[in-house]
Structure 1
């Protein structure tokens, strides 16, 4: 075994003009989450416990797009989704359409461990959450003043806003949206920065796990489900690796991006770094995305084809890095 390793992300696709203050704020949060994960790993917590612990921290902080601070739907509400996967037996749990559960990633784990199913959504998921004693809050808890303003800009632009945090002049105008070179299912979108969160871990026993959580897209249609809760697309873990993806959900779904990392390791014999590089270059077509990954041998890697990705990683031998670009 190569020792434990951990990686976290706060989304792929970063505005090139992102203010330095915002960059430092993101780095501090990622560093704090890494330290939480490192402490848990040093205390011999299994990988599945560590990814849940770290993603709960990311959901609780409003900086990124998950839990409190989630992007708003076209109706001004929050619909969250999350998934978690335990590599050794490929057990998994996922939830979508969550409006009142404080930590969707923990509900996903409850689905994995306390239900006969792998995926629950909308009212059924929340009814299950209440029966399991999950912490519930009003939907208003998740809504921030900043996101209310961003939704207004998105509606004025008649656009799904990816870069909902950085309202630069011209970015959110209808003309800018129409002229955007980026498209989703043939429709133009604005500057790309979704800010989904995720964590991947391999513990000292070589067990891999992954978890991903998001509020989705600003001004998304009610009922829209992205890649984050889809096992094999946004999240995947097995005996070889753990992977969490972020970016253009529709492209990640089409490419089953997270599973592809494991597949090329298994079928092509690539190591983790080679596998991540291969799928980013050859499986996204024209989509924009990024991912973090760990292997059962203690490797850690990230890859993205966007301007940047909020990310951090650490290994048992003392290596630690947090980056944006």
Structure 2
């Protein structure tokens, strides 16, 4: 037993040639957010508080596809979504279609704690945010020049882009000011008593249809926690929803007696190649970080002193 925390900044086709100016700010953000999460766990904050705190920090960073870094719909608008879940109680909250809320993950927690519902979306979610007095900004605040360019690239290639999509060969970036490299964020945590929580936040897909909802706010797909484990997934939402990635990890542990590592690897290996990654922790303090993409921005730490910050596959396949 012991506390543990893991977080991700998206999985996808991340090239080994990713230049330092693109890689280092993301790694530094993961390192900083991991440090905040560890400090909160050491201060006996609840796992639910910890995952919200960490994901808020990631939402506030433009280098990832959440909050101010959220990618744009085909109409050039932002539609953010998030989900948070407590493992012991299975209480959860989710939001979609946000265009003015600074921290979608905190609104998701308010849905969980202040309403009789699990999921609010679009105008209803925005109205609830105003009622609760959460921080909002004009929609233009979230639309960055980099994401305008990413949308232009996606439209030129006539495709919807998942996290970390590479430019089409016939459409090289050349001297582009952005790299099309951006990903969903998530965090999972367990305290020394085995209490678990998971949180995930995203802007979705570049050039997605207006109104599209991905796996992030779907309980059991992109986000899930129970008394055995907590899971936050990233990748191609449609594939993750079909595979019920988060719930399947927990089900393999519950019904088949698999370890967290074996359950996570099985689920990811049986998802379509190049579509899925996840971070997970167990009630006993195990950590798993599995992906079937080229890479996944990820970080973790455990009470025993083990820690890792990585992108590409290690000898241990990214698992601790």
Which runs of 5 or more residues in structure 2 are unaligned? 174-178, 313-320
8 Å contact 1:11–1:193 — kept in the other structure?
A: no
CA deviation vs aligned residue, 1:139-161 (integer Å, no higher than 9, x gap) = 11111111111111212222112
Residue 303 of structure 1: CA displacement? 0.3
Q: Does the CA contact (< 8 Å) of 2:47 and 2:197 recur in 1?
A: yes
Q: 1:171 to 1:242 in 2, by over 3 A?
A: farther
Q: Does 1:40 align with 2:40?
A: yes
CA spacing shift, 1:240–1:192, aligned 2, 3 Å: farther
TM-score (normalizing by structure 1): 0.90
Do the aligned partners of 1:85 and 1:92 also contact (CA within 8 Å) in 2?
A: yes
Counterpart of 2:289? 302
Deviations, residues 143-189 of structure 1 (Å, cap 9, x unaligned): 1111111111212222112366865763569xxxxxxxxxxxxxxxx
Q: Equivalents in 1 of 2:275, 2:182: separation in Å?
A: 10
Give the match's secondary structure for 2:67. coil
Give me the whole-angstrom Cα distance separating, in 2, the residues matched to 1:268 and 1:278: 12
**SS at the partner of 1:68?**
helix
Separation in 2, partners of 1:106, 1:35: 20
Deviations 1:27-75 (A, max 9, x none): 1110000000001001000000000000000001101000001000111
Would you say the 8 A contact 2:6–2:187 is kept in 1? yes
Aligned partner of 2:146 in structure 1 is 146
Residue by residue over 1:51-107, the C-alpha shift from the partner in whole angstroms, topping out at 9 and shown as x without a partner, is 000000000110100000100011111000000000001000000001111100000
SS at match of 1:292: strand
CA shift for structure 1 position 318 = 1.1
Q: Which residue of 2 aligns with 1:12?
A: 11
Count of residue correspondences? 306
Deviation at 1:308, TM superposition (A): 0.4
1:1-325 → structure 2 map (5 Å cutoff): 2-16=1-15, 17-162=17-162, 167=167, 170-171=170-171, 195-282=183-270, 284-286=271-273, 288-325=275-312
Equivalent residue, structure 1, for 2:315: none
Unaligned runs of 5+ in 1: 174-190
Change (3 A) 1:255 1:287: farther
Q: Give the match's secondary structure for 1:212.
A: strand
Separation in 2 of the partners of 1:59 and 1:47?
A: 18
Offset of 1:277 from its aligned partner?
Answer: 1.0
* Shift, 1:206, TM fit: 0.8
**After superposition, what is the alpha-carbon deviation per residue over 1:101-125, rounded to whole angstroms, capped at 9, x for unaligned?**
1100000000000000000000001
> 2:171 and 2:268 mapped to 1: Cα distance?
27
**In 2, Cα distance between the equivalents of 1:163 and 1:129?**
27
**Secondary structure at 1:324's aligned position in 2?**
strand
CA distance in 1, matches of 2:169, 2:32: 32
Q: TM-score, normalised by structure 2?
A: 0.92
CA contact (8 A) 1:84 1:212 kept: yes
For residues 314 and 245 of structure 1, what CA distance do their matches in structure 2 show?
18
